[in-house]
Amino acid sequence: MSSSTSPFATSTDSDQMLVERTVAGDQRAFELLVIKYQRRIERLVGRMVRDVDLVEDIAQETFIRAYRALPQFRGEAQFYTWLYRIAVNTAKKALMDLKRDPLVSERAYNIDEDEDETSRAENELTSAETPETLLAAKEIAATVNGAMAALPDELRQAITLREIEGMSYEEIAQLMGCPIGTVRSRIFRAREAISVKVKPLLESQSGKRW
């Protein structure tokens, strides 16, 4: 099972284990974390910086810094909380380098690092988007939502409890009154059904495949 410092901690993802594996020497395991958090980090940085290229540069820099600092990550906090702080600091530094304004002080970017960025208003445009990427994003979101609506009830419930309510398989199993294996299967089938529709859109974004 997932490792945790406390028997009561319910770890619902593989972050900690991927971190450990990376530190143990498997560089590629870190890429899975990059794939997982790329969008969230870009959105976070995009709130502070508008230039599309700069947003991506800062995001890249964030992940590299996180990689280098990984041995010091003890796992007391969530990996993403730790990554979030690195992103904020990296973006701050980049903005300060840009401005070189003697009036700007470190206090000028006193962003509350403990604030969960999901608590902000959701209907704001991310700052670093072109009309084309906006349209592509809309299409992806619409496809995911449409595919969700088309799912059989028990599949949709399972994936909703997992992705939106953040419940563990055990908790979902309790709630839905079925074995964990069934939970795993339902979540997988829900994801597959949505993937079928969304994957072509993702692939056409870059023209390349994994």
Partner 1 sequence: MDKFSHPDEWISALADGQLGGEAFAHAVAQACAPGSARAAWHTYHVIGDVLRSGELAGGAPAVDFVGRFQQRLVGEPRLYPEVVATAQAAAMVRPSEPNSPAANASLFRWKLVAGAACVAAAATVVLSVSGVMGVSPARGVLVQAPGAPVVAAKPALNADVAAAQAPVMIRNPRLDELLAAHRQSGGASALQMPAGFLRNATHEAPAR
Partner 2 sequence: MTRMILRAAAATVCGVLWMGSALAQQAGSPVGGAAASAVSGAVETRSVSEWLVRMHEASRRRTYVGTFVVSSGAGGLSSARIWHACDGTQQIERVEALTGAPRSTFRRNDLVVTFLPESKVVHAERRESLGLFPGVLKAPEAFSFEFYAAQRGGSERVAGFDTEIVKLVPQDKLRFGYRLWSEKKSGLMVKLQTIDLDGRVLEQVAFSELQIDVPVKMDKLAQMMANTDGYRVERSEPVKTTAEAEGWLLRVPVAGFKPMGCFKRQTPGGGSGEGTVQWVFSDGLASVSLFVEAYDRQRHLQEGVMAMGATQTLLKRLGGKMGEWWLTAVGEVPAPTLEAFAQGLERRK
- Write down the least CB distance from residue 88 to partner 2, Å: 11
The residue among 50 and 93 lying less far from partner 2, judged by its C-beta, is: 50
The residue among 65 and 85 lying less far from partner 1, judged by its C-beta, is: 65
Judged by beta carbon distances under 5 to 8 A according to partner kind, the member of partner 1, partner 2, none in contact with residue 113 is none
Judged by beta carbon distances under 5 to 8 A according to partner kind, the member of partner 2, partner 1, none in contact with residue 111 is partner 2
Helix axes 52-69, 27-46, angle to 10 degrees: 140
The gap between the terminal CA atoms of the chain, to the nearest Å, is 28
- Write down the least CB distance from residue 27 to partner 2, Å: 34
- Write down the least CB distance from residue 170 to partner 2, Å: 15
Judged by beta carbon distances under 5 to 8 A according to partner kind, the member of partner 1, partner 2, none in contact with residue 103 is partner 2
Nearest CA-CA partner of 74 in 20, 11, 30, 36: 20
- Write down the least CB distance from residue 102 to partner 1, Å: 18
Spatial contact of 18 and 30, defined as CB atoms under 8 Å apart: yes
Helix (H, G, I), strand (E, B) or coil at 208: coil
Nearest CA-CA partner of 184 in 152, 163, 159: 159
User: Applying CB under 8 A, which residues contact partner 2?
Assistant: 47-51, 95, 98-101, 103-104, 108-112, 115, 119-125, 127, 129-131, 134, 144-145, 148-149, 153, 156-157, 160-161, 175-177
Judged by beta carbon distances under 5 to 8 A according to partner kind, the member of partner 1, partner 2, none in contact with residue 96 is none
Q: For residues 53 and 58, what is the distance between their CA atoms, to the nearest angstrom?
A: 9
> Cα dist. 70→6, 81, 111 in Å?
21, 13, 23
- Write down the least CB distance from residue 113 to partner 1, Å: 16
Buried b / exposed e over 64-86, threshold 16 CB at 10 Å, is eebbeebeebeeeeebbebbbbb
The residue among 15 and 46 lying less far from partner 2, judged by its C-beta, is: 46
